[in-house]
């Protein structure tokens, strides 16, 4: 799914990524459309109806790698997708996210079976 007009394209298509959002006892699962060091765009979950630009706890999972946890703020809500901006990332999470974006940014988004992702815990 292409990004909406006006959204920067310096992101990585993360078609193998899944995300979980948590807020006030609610939890939603979705698929990642793209990700950068500043934010993430996901498919809008069917039952996702936030009433404000709320903070969420977010967990990003790609393949069998350890999940990355962050806080994120809702910045755009559309019929088909949702954009969130990361709050301050820990050094460890930022480093892991950089490695993930770098490795998955290769043509075909493929890793060799024996190739580790550097920087991941």
The correct answer on CATH 3.30.390.50 for the domain covering 12-105 is no
Q: Where are the domains of the chain?
A: 12-105
pLDDT tier at 112, thresholds 50, 70, 90: very low
CB–CB of 38/85 below 8 Å? yes
Please state the pTM of the whole predicted model.
0.74
| pLDDT tens digits along 35-89 | 888 999 999 999 998 877 789 999 999 887 789 999 999 999 999 999 999 999 9
pLDDT > 90: percent of the chain: 46
């Amino acid at each position: 799914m292409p990004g909406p007009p006006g959204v920067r394209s310096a992101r990585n298509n993360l078609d193998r990524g899944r995300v979980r959002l948590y807020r006030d006892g609610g939890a939603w699962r979705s698929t990642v459309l793209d990700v950068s060091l500043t934010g993430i765009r996901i498919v809008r979950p069917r039952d996702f109806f936030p009433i404000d630009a709320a903070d969420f706890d977010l967990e990003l999972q790609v393949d069998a790698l350890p999940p990355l946890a962050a806080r994120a703020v809702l910045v755009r809500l559309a019929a088909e997708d949702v954009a969130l901006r990361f709050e301050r990332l820990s050094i460890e999470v930022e480093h892991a996210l950089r490695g993930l974006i770098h490795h998955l940014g290769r043509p075909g988004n493929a890793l060799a079976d024996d190739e580790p992702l550097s920087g991941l815990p």
